[in-house]
Amino acid sequence: MAVERTLSIIKPDAVAKNVIGEIVSRFEKADLKVVEARMQQLTREEAEGFYAVHKERPFFNDLVEFMISGPVFIQALEGENAIQKNRDLMGATDPKKAEPGTIRADFAESIDANAVHGSDAPETAAVEIAYFFGK
C-alpha cells in the first residue's frame, strides 16, 4: 500500500463541540500523521470554491452556509492508504447510517452538520490539499 496524503476538515459543528483533539487523536491512533494544519474561518467564496463539484446539488446553499457558520480546522493527513483510511474513520455521510465507533456516529448530528470532511479519491485529495495549503 502506498503512503498517501488526504485533506481533512473538522467542520464548524465539531469545532463548536470542542472535540478537535478527540478527532485528531483518532487519526493519530490509526497511524495518520498531521502534516499540515490551520484553524480558519472560511469566506463564502472559499467554501463555494471548495465544494464547487456540488454547486448544482439542491443542498449546495445549505452546505456553504453551514461551512461558514464558524471556524473549521483544516489538515493534511499522511499515511498508508490515508484516503480510504480517513473515510473509514469518518463513517457514512449521514450519521444515522454511520457505523458505531466512527467519527460521524459519535460526534455528528445530521447529514448537514456531520463533523468532518475527507477527500474521496487521490485526484480530489491532491486538488483539495493544494486549495488550502498550496503546491
Residues that bind ligand RTP (CB under 6 A): 54, 59, 63, 93, 111-112, 114, 117-118, 120
- Locate the DSSP E strands across the chain: 3-10, 33-40, 72-80, 116-118
The candidate with the shortest Cα–Cα distance to 88, out of 73, 101, 79, is 101
Q: Are 125 and 4 in contact (CB under 8 A)?
A: yes
Query: 12 vs 118, which CB is nearer to ligand RTP?
Result: 118
Q: What nine digits make up the cell of 67?
A: 461551512
Shortest Å distance, C-beta 118 to ligand RTP: 5
Residue 117 a catalytic site member: yes
Shortest Å distance, C-beta 24 to ligand RTP: 16
Q: Which residue positions form the known binding site?
A: 11, 59, 87, 93, 104, 114
